[in-house]
Each structure stands twice: as structure tokens, then as C-alpha cells.
Amino acid sequence: MRYVLVAILIILFGYSLALVLQNGTEVTVDLLFTQVPAMRLGLVLLLTLALGVVVGLLLGVQVFRVFQTSWEIKRLRKDIDHLRKEQIQAAQLAAAEAAANARYEKTVFDVTNDNKSPL
């Protein structure tokens, strides 16, 4: 993988160098706040391409972060719903056991032994 990345970087560098050398015409560039009097057209193309790539990557990261946060919120809501259902089931089971225990204690305590003879 490392060799592939190195090869791609060398190819991009060569392409950029050829682009600058082939487009040697000097142009004036207006940057809204200032003006560059003379700059090679190839260099302007490379700078705008690099700026576009950087801005695109930054926006892409932000958009992906928004989607990732949305997916995480959905997953956590599902986990909360699942845990609530488990808690409800556990509470119902505990209530049923408590009711059964109360019935058992009531029946055991209701039986009294009035006959005190050992036989």
C-alpha cells in the first residue's frame, strides 16, 4: 500500500510540474482584496486545484461527522429502547414474584394450629 501511495504522489508531482511548465503564460490574478501582478497560469491552476481539494476534504469531513453523529444518536436511541424494555420486563417479573410471595406468606400464616395436643 505504501508503494502505491508513493507512486501516486510521484505521478501527481510530475503532472503538476508538467502543468506549470506547459502553461507558462503570465496572467494577473485578482484575489478580491489584493491583486497579484504576474503569475504563471499553471501555478494558478495548481493553487486553485489544491485549494479546492483542501476545502472539499474539510467539507467532506464535516458532512461525514454530521452523518456519523446522526447514526450514533439512532444507535443509542435503539439501545435505550432495548434497555427500557428489559427494565419493564424485570420489574414485571419482580412484581409477579412479590405477589406470589405475598400469597404464599398469607396462606402459611392463615393456617393456625388450635389443637395443642401432641397427637
Question: What confidence tens digit (pLDDT) does each residue in 68-81 have?
Answer: 898 999 999 999 99
Give the Cα separation of 77 and 102 in Å (integer): 37
Query: Distance of CA 93 to CAs 24, 90, 99, 102, Å?
Result: 82, 5, 10, 14
Amino acid at 17: L
Is 29:36 a contact under the CB 8 Å cutoff?
A: yes
Q: pTM score, two decimals?
A: 0.51
Which pLDDT tens digit goes with each residue over 22-49? 888 888 888 788 888 888 888 888 888 8
pLDDT-based confidence at residue 7 (cuts at 50, 70, 90): very high
Q: Given a cut of 70, is residue 105 above it in pLDDT?
A: no
